[in-house]
């Protein structure tokens, strides 16, 4: 009885896997708080050469971890999270006295006042402490991690929700243009989608979804960020605040104004893609993120600029 049951499960699932792969689906992981917590745990203590990336999806899609490693020998830990602000994590890193490396803080949503972003950041931060404390959870995560990398049918592209959505929209499920590597690097292939449509969605999101901090709130946020920066840099760490290639105009104007405020209030090294002719030449096909092909070239250029700017401050950790 059990043999037949196993056969009845394995055969359809095997066929499903084969068909999925034939249609371009590949094993992919879902970005979960556990995956984030696992990556956070990879940050080596007291390692001056450690590099960690915080921020939103702009950093997750824009910084190519392989290229970064190739350019300077250090593989960054990718801790940017889709739709969150970096300040909560920067503060968490500041409290971690063992961190003496380089923190790259991308400014997307850093100066927004968005309850959803805050909630998500809190969820991830809370998850980290419980993940660290639970052997069983870490073991369970590794099993899911292993399976997620082995089977296409457990990828988020073939989740029940995606399949239902695809059928509701009247078509078969398609592989997503977004893909994530096990170390949370993300790749956006914008040749697979209608970029103009995505740009319209981005404009809509930025004009309706973003809640800008008022002056008083912005000052308070800047003070919190600066306190974290000071604490990290006082023990030999380094913080670089990065403004990625410009987003759609609806977002970019407010970003530019806030960028000036950031530069005026922080002791961190500030680096805006808009100020460098090479970095500024990159365009975001969806109005907010880089295509994975551009992300590789952008990362190489970013490392070169970073290396120079850090060297100007006597910091040779990326040499």
Partner 1 sequence: MTFNSLTFLLFFAAVVLLHRLPLPWTVKKFNLWVASCIFYAAWNPPFVVLLWIGTLVHYGAGRGIAAARTPAGRRAWLLCSLVVGLGLLGFFKYAQFLLDNLTVLLAALHVAYHPGRLDILLPVGVSFFTFQALSYTIDVYRGKLPACRKLLDLALYLSFFPVLASGPILRAGHFLPQCAQPRQAGARELGWGLTLFTIGLFEKVFLADGILGPFADAVFHAAPVASWRDAWLGAFAYSAQLFFDFAGYSASAIGVALCLGFAVPDNFRCPYAAIGFSDFWRRWHISLSSWLRDYLYFPLGGNRRGAGRTYLNLMLTMLLGGLWHGAAWRFVAWGGLHGLYLAAERPVRERFGDRPWAARWPVRLPAAFLTFCLVCVAWVFFRAPDFETAFAFVGKMLLGSANPSTIGGLRALTAATVIAAMFVGQWLLRDTPQEVLWRRLPWWLRSTVLAVLLGAVILAPGDERAFLYFQF
Binding test (CB under 8 A) with partner 1, winner from 42, 49, 122, 139 = 139
Query: Closer to partner 1 at the Cβ: 173 or 246?
Result: 173
Of 41-49, 157-165, 248-256, 269-277, which part binds partner 1 (CB under 8 A)? 157-165
Give the 3-state secondary structure of residue 248.
Answer: coil
- In terms of Cα–Cα distance, which of 294, 232, 274, 298 is closest to 52? 232
Size of the site for partner 1 (CB under 8 A): 23
Query: Closer to partner 1 at the Cβ: 4 or 169?
Result: 4
Of 160-168, 195-203, 242-250, 272-280, which part binds partner 1 (CB under 8 A)? 160-168
Q: Is 169 in the site for partner 1 (CB under 8 A)?
A: no
Rounded CA gap, 126 and 312, in Å?
37
Rounded CA gap, 128 and 134, in Å?
10
Q: Which residues contact 22 (CB under 8 A, 6 or more apart)?
A: none
Rounded CA gap, 133 and 130, in Å?
5
Query: Closer to partner 1 at the Cβ: 154 or 213?
Result: 154
- Shortest approach of partner 1 to residue 42 CB, angstroms? 21
- In terms of Cα–Cα distance, which of 291, 314, 290, 296 is closest to 106? 290
Rounded CA gap, 213 and 117, in Å?
13
Rounded CA gap, 89 and 125, in Å?
7
Q: Is 14 in the site for partner 1 (CB under 8 A)?
A: no
Query: Closer to partner 1 at the Cβ: 147 or 211?
Result: 147
Decide: 96 and 229 in contact? Cβ < 8 Å.
no
Query: Closer to partner 1 at the Cβ: 144 or 224?
Result: 144
Of 67-75, 92-100, 142-150, 203-211, which part binds partner 1 (CB under 8 A)? 142-150
Query: Closer to partner 1 at the Cβ: 5 or 22?
Result: 5
Decide: 138 and 31 in contact? Cβ < 8 Å.
no
Torsion of CA 233, 319, 73, 141, to 10 degrees: 10
* Residue 193 in tokens: 């989608």
Of 44-52, 94-102, 156-164, 247-255, which part binds partner 1 (CB under 8 A)? 156-164
Of 3-11, 59-67, 102-110, 179-187, which part binds partner 1 (CB under 8 A)? 3-11
Query: Closer to partner 1 at the Cβ: 66 or 165?
Result: 165
Residues that bind partner 1 (CB under 8 A): 1-2, 4-9, 12-13, 133-136, 139-140, 143-144, 147, 159-161, 164
């Amino acid at each position: 009885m059990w043999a037949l049951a196993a056969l009845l499960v394995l055969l359809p699932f095997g066929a499903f896997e084969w068909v999925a792969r034939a249609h371009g689906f590949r094993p992919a992981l879902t970005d979960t708080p556990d995956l984030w917590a696992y990556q956070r745990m990879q940050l080596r203590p007291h390692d001056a050469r450690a590099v960690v990336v915080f921020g939103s999806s702009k950093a997750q899609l824009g910084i190519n971890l392989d290229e970064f490693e190739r350019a300077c020998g250090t593989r960054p830990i990718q801790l940017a999270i889709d739709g969150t602000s970096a300040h909560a994590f920067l503060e968490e890193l500041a409290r971690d006295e063992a961190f003496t490396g380089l923190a790259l803080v991308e400014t997307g949503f850093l100066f927004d006042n968005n309850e959803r972003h805050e909630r998500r950041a809190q969820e991830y931060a809370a998850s980290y402490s419980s993940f660290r404390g639970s052997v069983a959870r870490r073991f369970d995560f590794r099993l899911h991690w292993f399976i997620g990398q082995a089977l296409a049918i457990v990828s988020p592209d073939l989740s029940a929700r995606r399949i239902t959505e695809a059928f509701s929209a009247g078509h078969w499920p398609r592989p997503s243009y977004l893909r994530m590597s096990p170390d949370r690097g993300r790749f956006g292939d914008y040749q697979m989608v209608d970029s103009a449509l995505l740009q319209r969605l981005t404009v809509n999101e930025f004009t309706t979804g973003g809640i800008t901090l008022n002056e008083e709130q912005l000052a308070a946020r800047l003070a919190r960020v600066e306190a974290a920066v000071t604490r990290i840099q006082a023990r030999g760490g380094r913080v670089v605040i990065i403004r990625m290639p410009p987003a759609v105009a609806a977002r970019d104007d407010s970003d530019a104004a806030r960028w000036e405020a950031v530069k005026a209030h922080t002791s961190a090294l500030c680096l805006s893609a808009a100020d460098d002719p090479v970095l500024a030449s990159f365009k975001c096909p969806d109005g907010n993120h880089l295509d994975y092909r551009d992300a590789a070239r952008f990362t190489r250029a970013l490392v070169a600029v970073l290396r120079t700017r850090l060297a100007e401050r006597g910091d040779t950790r990326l040499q």
